Amino acid sequence: MNKLVSMKNVSKTYFPHKDVPVHALNGLDLEVFEGEMVAIFGVSGSGKSTLLHIIGCLDRPTEGEYFLKDEDIKKCSDRRLAEIRNSEIGFVLQDFGLIPYRTAYENISVPFLFSKGKIKEMSGRVINVLEQFGIPELSKRKVYQMSGGQKQRVAIARALVNEPSLILADEPTGALDSSTKIEIYDIFKDLRNSGKTIIIVTHDKEVADMADRVLNMKDGALFR
Ligand SMILES: Nc1ncnc2c1ncn2[C@@H]1O[C@H](COP(=O)(O)OP(=O)(O)O)[C@@H](O)[C@H]1O
Ligand SMILES: [Mg+2]
């Protein structure tokens, strides 16, 4: 199988206050292969979101190597990173990250508008993902009028609209009640079974049980 993510000795240090470094990632290694679902477990503050941001090219490592497919991320310009983010990565966030006063259709269109896709193909693609996630009736509804589960479906549909190679999910069931969680589990199960590559940060044992591999994160490093 092809390697999609390859990280070696990656560190990330923040300087929230001058001269006081926070070592969020400490010499971390990670390999993820195409078609795998990998779950990352760890207490708050262990560096999970920092790691997802770096994998998703929202941020860069302070040190170490990161290859996404065959591309050396260290050598990429900011412009190229933005391109990679848009075409290769689908983000699903705990707080959904949607624009509240826009409709599902408009929210899902956003990544498409930033991509090189032809505008006349947009509506077909958006309608497609709305149907795939069982929410065609939400197309014209504004996000603030939706339930948590509906918002998360819209967020997942948005993450998928550009057909990314890699789906990154940061505690995607963290803000949902238990019956809604079950619906979202099914979506992730389907994504996994359809051969998508997924890296998912979670505290939710049910989500971790779906994964092909579970990695534990502690103090900015990963353990089996
Ligand atoms: N932008 C930032 N600036 C400074 N410190 C940060 C920033 N983001 C995260 N941190 C710190 O890095 C560490 C790891 O945070 P994070 O990656 O958010 O962990 P997790 O997602 O596991 O809770 C924490 O100590 C956190 O306070
Ligand atoms: Mg986090």
Please say whether the beta carbons of 15 and 23 come within 8 A. Answer: no
Q: Which residues of 61-85 are buried (b: 16+ CB within 10 A; e: fewer)?
A: bbebebbbeeeebeebeeeebebbb
The pLDDT, as a whole number, for residue 64 is 98
50 lines ligand 1 (CB under 6 A): yes
Nearest to 40 by CA among 219, 220, 173, 213: 213
Atom of ligand 1 nearest to the CA of 15: 4
The pLDDT, as a whole number, for residue 220 is 96
User: Which of 14, 93, 168 to probe ligand 1 with, by most ligand atoms within 8 A of CB?
Assistant: 14
Atom 14 of ligand 1, residue of closest alpha carbon? 47
Order of strands across the sheet with 221-223?
Answer: 89-93, 166-170, 197-201, 37-41, 213-218, 221-223
Atom 9 of ligand 1, residue of closest alpha carbon? 50
Q: Which helix (H) or strand (E) holds 127?
A: helix 122-132
The pLDDT, as a whole number, for residue 71 is 96
162 lines ligand 1 (CB under 6 A): no
Fold of 3-223: Rossmann fold (3.40.50)
The pLDDT, as a whole number, for residue 81 is 96
Ligand 1 centroid – CA 198 distance (Å): 22
Tokens of 36: 């795998």
Q: What tens digit of pLDDT does each residue of 182-197 get?
A: 988 889 999 999 999 9
Atom of ligand 1 nearest to the CA of 220: 14
User: Which of 13, 50, 54, 170 to probe ligand 1 with, by most ligand atoms within 8 A of CB?
Assistant: 50
Q: What tens digit of pLDDT does each residue of 86-138 get?
A: 999 999 988 889 999 999 999 999 988 888 878 888 999 999 999 999 999 99
Atom 26 of ligand 1, residue of closest alpha carbon? 45
- Confidence band of 72 (pLDDT split at 50, 70, 90): very high
Tokens of 23: 């070592």
Atom 6 of ligand 1, residue of closest alpha carbon? 14
The pLDDT, as a whole number, for residue 95 is 83
Please say whether the beta carbons of 201 and 40 come within 8 A. Answer: yes
The dihedral built from the CA positions of residue 20, 61, 75 and 170, taken in this order, carries a sign that is negative
Nearest to 151 by CA among 194, 197, 93, 191: 93
Q: What is the pTM (predicted TM-score) of this model?
A: 0.94
Q: How many CB atoms lie within 10 A of CB 20?
A: 8
Q: What tens digit of pLDDT does each residue of 160-190 get?
A: 999 999 999 999 998 889 999 998 888 999 9
Please say whether the beta carbons of 166 and 91 come within 8 A. Answer: no
Q: State yes or no: pLDDT of 4 exceeds 90.
A: yes
